[in-house]
């Protein structure tokens, strides 16, 4: 960790010194700050009727600040860093506008939106390392927003991606799914959650992605090799899952969402509260879900395909004229049954019982949401800090995260607490990027990233650390 901060300090000292120190003839060098407070105001109207549009979302992507227009179509940003910013203007039923705006002092910018039902100018981050317009990305990137995910009938977040051309899933049950991009999966597809590489037991068939689907705001799927930017794990592509997005200033919002699916009697409940008061912003969420055994036309109800989970997380941070600093955290807790498919001579599903014998599964077994033997218990804890600091017309992005993934498997009906397998993976990831001012349409940045892992497997008795 000491080497990480030495690198960051070196980058800042080499590239940021000219921003803070200005030589003045006759007086020597004196300190000055270029982090001036800018303002962006404007009015949004319908391009056809010229009437003001209320409730339009205006979002400054690089500094993670957003507002909505009032009844007169006006919007206002105060206390934002001066310089170029990528502005995204979106409203249901209208074409999204995404463009670079130079903010100097009190800047005014008006927009006229055209009616449309097709998204053709979305803002993305995946594939270039910084926010840009979808049509300017050198990679093929598909975008799913929260509205698209809510309308999906998938049982987990990865299953929702199967509707994207070229993307499929590998599933061993309703709660366990892996992304597959153009035939490649496992460690050939990199998953990123709020700027942090998602590190779990993703190399096994029965290991899924430990992210709560109810917390997701947007998903970007890059289809194609991106190893140059993200490393060797991105040979097939990248899935960028964004969960924490600040609400507009001086606003507090709360949501409750529930769902029910008839096939396996799956029921889910999610609640969150988010706020933004004078730059201090937060978003806290909690969710719980449970499902009985699903059924199909060949087997009827499939024994032990049930699961139950309880998750929580969120972030807290501050946005100011110098940039932003956010602290993110999440806790994922899942118990899911492992389908073995054992049957008796009559074709009935059977279950293991104490004493080493077996019994025919009952209706109570199929309808219960508590997994039978064998089952696995998966826990994933993550804490990370996401920062962006403004240095004149340049910007430093710093992201450091720690996550611990634990997977336990139980398979002894005589001792329900005896672990057959235990995986414990601890990972530290870090990324630092220094973005230079845009010149003639070109964006330049210098960066360093890395990962340190420690893993333990019960029964093998070995532990290793790799950098």
At 325-370, the pLDDT tens digits run: 999 999 999 999 988 888 988 889 999 888 888 999 999 999 999 9
Per-residue pLDDT reduced to its tens digit, 310-334: 999 999 999 888 889 999 999 999 9
pLDDT tens readout for residues 162-221? 888 888 888 777 778 888 888 888 888 888 888 888 888 666 777 788 888 888 888 888
What token pair was written down for 437?
Answer: 């001012």
Residue closest to 441 by CA, chosen among 11, 52, 136, 143:
136
Report CA-CA distances (Å) from 456 to 382, 412, 452. Answer: 18, 22, 14
Digit-coded pLDDT (tens) for 37-89:
788 999 999 999 999 999 898 988 888 888 889 999 999 988 888 888 888 88
Q: Give the integer Cα–Cα distance in Å for 215 and 309.
A: 14
Beta strands in 278-354 (DSSP E): 280-291, 295-296, 300-301, 307-320, 323-337, 350-352
* pTM metric for this prediction: 0.78
Residue 111 has pLDDT above 90, yes or no: yes
User: Measuring CA to CA, which residue among 214, 226, 84, 109 is closest to residue 155?
Assistant: 214
Cα–Cα distance measured from residue 162 to residue 276, given in angstroms and rounded to the nearest whole number: 34
For the chain, the structural domain boundaries read 34-118
The residue among 223, 218, 219 whose CA lies nearest residue 139 is 223
pLDDT score recorded for residue 61? 83
* Residue 65 to residue 75: CA distance in whole angstroms: 12
pLDDT value of residue 24: 31
Using one digit for the tens of pLDDT, what is the confidence trace for 414-437? 888 899 989 999 999 998 888 887
The mean pLDDT of the chain is 80
pLDDT for res 78? 85
CB atoms near residue 459 (< 10 Å): 9
Record: fold of 34-118: Immunoglobulin-like (2.60.40)
How far separated are the first and last CA of the chain, in Å rounded?
11
What is the reported pLDDT for 9? 40
Q: Is the pLDDT of residue 154 over 50?
A: yes
Check whether 454 has a pLDDT greater than 90.
no
């Amino acid at each position: 960790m000491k080497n990480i901060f030495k690198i960051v300090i070196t980058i800042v000292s080499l590239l940021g010194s000219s921003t803070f120190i200005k030589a003045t003839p006759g007086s020597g060098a004196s300190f000055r700050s270029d982090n001036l407070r800018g303002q962006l105001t404007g009015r949004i109207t319908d391009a056809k009727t010229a009437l003001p549009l209320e409730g339009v979302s205006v979002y400054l992507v690089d500094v993670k600040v957003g507002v909505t227009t009032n009844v007169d179509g006006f919007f206002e940003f105060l206390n934002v860093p001066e310089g170029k910013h990528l502005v995204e203007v979106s409203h249901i039923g209208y074409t999204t506008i995404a463009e670079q705006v130079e903010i100097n002092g009190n800047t005014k910018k008006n927009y006229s939106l055209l009616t449309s039902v097709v998204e053709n100018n979305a803002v993305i981050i995946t594939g270039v390392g910084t926010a840009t317009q979808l049509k300017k990305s050198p990679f093929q990137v598909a975008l799913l927003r929260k509205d698209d995910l809510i309308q999906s009938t998938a049982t987990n977040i990865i299953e929702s991606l199967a509707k994207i051309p070229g993307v499929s899933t590998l599933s061993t049950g309703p709660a366990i799914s892996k992304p597959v991009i153009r035939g490649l999966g496992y460690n050939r597809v990199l998953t990123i959650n709020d700027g942090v590489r998602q590190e779990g037991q993703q190399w096994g068939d029965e290991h899924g992605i430990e992210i709560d689907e109810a917390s997701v705001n947007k998903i970007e799927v890059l289809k194609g090799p991106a190893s140059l930017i993200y490393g060797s794990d991105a040979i097939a592509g990248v899935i960028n899952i964004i969960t924490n997005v600040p609400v507009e200033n001086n606003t507090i919002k709360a949501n409750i969402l529930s769902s029910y699916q008839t096939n396996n009697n799956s029921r889910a409940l999610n609640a969150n509260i988010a706020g933004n008061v004078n730059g201090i912003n937060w978003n806290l969420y909690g969710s719980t879900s449970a499902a009985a055994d699903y059924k199909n036309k060949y087997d009827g109800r499939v024994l032990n395909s049930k699961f139950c989970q309880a998750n929580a997380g969120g972030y807290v941070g501050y946005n100011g004229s110098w940039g932003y600093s956010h602290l993110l955290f999440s806790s994922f807790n899942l118990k899911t049954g492992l389908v073995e498919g054992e049957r008796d001579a009559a074709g009935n599903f059977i279950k293991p019982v104490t004493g080493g014998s077996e019994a025919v599964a009952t209706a109570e077994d199929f309808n219960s949401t508590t997994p039978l033997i064998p089952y696995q218990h998966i826990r994933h804890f993550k804490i990370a800090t996401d920062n962006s600091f403004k240095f004149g017309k340049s910007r430093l992005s710093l992201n450091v995260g720690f996550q611990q993934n634990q997977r336990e498997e139980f398979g002894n009906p005589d001792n329900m607490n005896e672990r057959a397998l235990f995986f414990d993976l601890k990972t530290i990831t870090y990324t630092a990027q220094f973005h230079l001012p845009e010149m003639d349409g070109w964006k330049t940045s210098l960066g360093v990233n890395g990962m340190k892992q420690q893993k333990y497997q019960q029964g093998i008795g070995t532990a290793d650390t790799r950098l």
